[in-house]
Structure 1
Amino acid sequence: MNPHVQARLKNSFIVFDSDANGYLQRADFERMARRVTRVMGQQEGSAKAQAVLDGHLRFWAGLAAEADSDHDAKISFDEYARRSFGPGSFTAHVQPLAKSIAALADTDNDGQISKQEFIALLCAVGFNAADYSDFFQTLDSDGDGAITIEQFVAMLEDFYTNSNPAAQN
């Protein structure tokens, strides 16, 4: 596997492995959903919080179906790295999560995500925001200081389906 792609996958695996036990499990996705909604200021049970939880659980279900080769209800990094999210799989399993966290990031409900909202979401998820500050400028193609929810979803689709080594880590 290309080392850049492997690094990108390892980074996302570490973020999803919320208990740092070396495996992805359903509880990791539940924990992450609750943490992200709490950090982003949503109360558990709100419509946005429920959408984020549902999105995380749908992502987990798709990931488990595609990657849990030994059916032990946990996914090692090797299993995670071998899985493939093609366009149909992304739409079914990852897009609901992408849309729910984009809506969560859109704290003023204007249909756009400002740079401040984008950075806050990355921090809530567990990424190092400093690594992605300049990346926002790439996404903000018209330079208006915001990206649409559709642009955010497209960015995540590219992240999960693109094997190009030049793609953002």
Structure 2
Amino acid sequence: MAEEDTVMVDERLVAKYDHRFGIYDTDRDGFIGETDFTARVERLLEGLGLSAGSPKAAAGYAASRSCWQQIADRAGIAHHKPLDRQGFVAALSSAGADGTIMRIFEPVIAAHVNLVDTDDDGVVDRSEFVRAQAVEGIPADRAEEAFHRIDSDGDGSITLAEWLAAVSTFHTDPEPDSPGDRVVGYRP
């Protein structure tokens, strides 16, 4: 992004985007790239005991690559180049400001929910959610809290729509303590 394209974004959203960068930087080298995005899928597959050769895994990898490519495009870099924290935050700030941020994340969230739904019943139950959050390093008590916050209708399961709503609030609502903050382990 060129300097003249800088977007003013609430500092609380910037902090959330910064946190998100830390999640994506799987090798902790201070940069993210396609391999960081696919490594998250690999970790989830392994942690949930899912086959890396399954159609669900293929969809997860494809969605992760697409998410990375959209972020790279937004940042103005080639898909094979790494992106630093500042560039990532600027790309998400720009997408948030123009209302396109969920176009970047919806496909990867849908693929993620599909992976987490290990019994293939179309929803994520509490045990599936807690197990997937553990793979991400989020303790069970915090995962339980997040589950109840994201399960907006209180029916004991999380639909894709509920998960997307939570992720959307994380990326667009500067107020602290939104349900989406919990799904990514963010605590202001």
TM-score (norm 2): 0.77
The unaligned stretches of length 5 or more in structure 2 are 1-8
Name the structure 2 match of 1:13. 21
Out of 143, 154, 174, which is 1:164 matched to?
Answer: 174
- The higher-RCO structure (CA 8 Å, 6+ apart) is 1
* Alpha-carbon distance in structure 2 between the residues aligned to 1:128 and 1:67: 33
Name the structure 1 match of 2:43. 35
* Alpha-carbon distance in structure 2 between the residues aligned to 1:72 and 1:43: 27
In the alignment, residue 40 of structure 1 is paired with which amino acid?
A: L
Name the structure 1 match of 2:5. none
Out of 44, 67, 90, which is 2:102 matched to?
Answer: 90
Report deviation, 1:22: 0.3
* Alpha-carbon distance in structure 2 between the residues aligned to 1:71 and 1:147: 33
SS of match in other structure, 2:49: coil
Name the structure 2 match of 1:58. 66
Report deviation, 1:128: 4.7
* Alpha-carbon distance in structure 1 between the residues aligned to 2:75 and 2:68: 10
Q: Contact 2:34 / 2:79 at 8 angstroms: preserved in 1?
A: no
Q: After the TM superposition, which of the residue ranges 119-128 and 134-143 deviates more from structure 2?
A: 119-128
Within 5 Å, give how 1:114-125 maps onto structure 2: 114-125=125-136
Structure 2 CA distance for partners of 1:126 and 1:64, relative to 1, 3 Å = farther
In the alignment, residue 108 of structure 2 is paired with which amino acid?
A: L
* Alpha-carbon distance in structure 1 between the residues aligned to 2:48 and 2:88: 27
Q: Contact 1:69 / 1:79 at 8 angstroms: preserved in 2?
A: no
Q: After the TM superposition, which of the residue ranges 62-71 and 10-19 deviates more from structure 2?
A: 62-71
In the alignment, residue 71 of structure 2 is paired with which amino acid?
A: L
Report deviation, 1:158: 2.6
Out of 24, 27, 41, which is 2:32 matched to?
Answer: 24
Structure 2 CA distance for partners of 1:65 and 1:106, relative to 1, 3 Å = same
* Alpha-carbon distance in structure 2 between the residues aligned to 1:72 and 1:107: 32
Report deviation, 1:97: 0.6
Report deviation, 1:69: 5.5
TM-score (norm 1): 0.85
CA RMSD in angstroms, aligned pairs only: 2.3
Name the structure 2 match of 1:144. 155
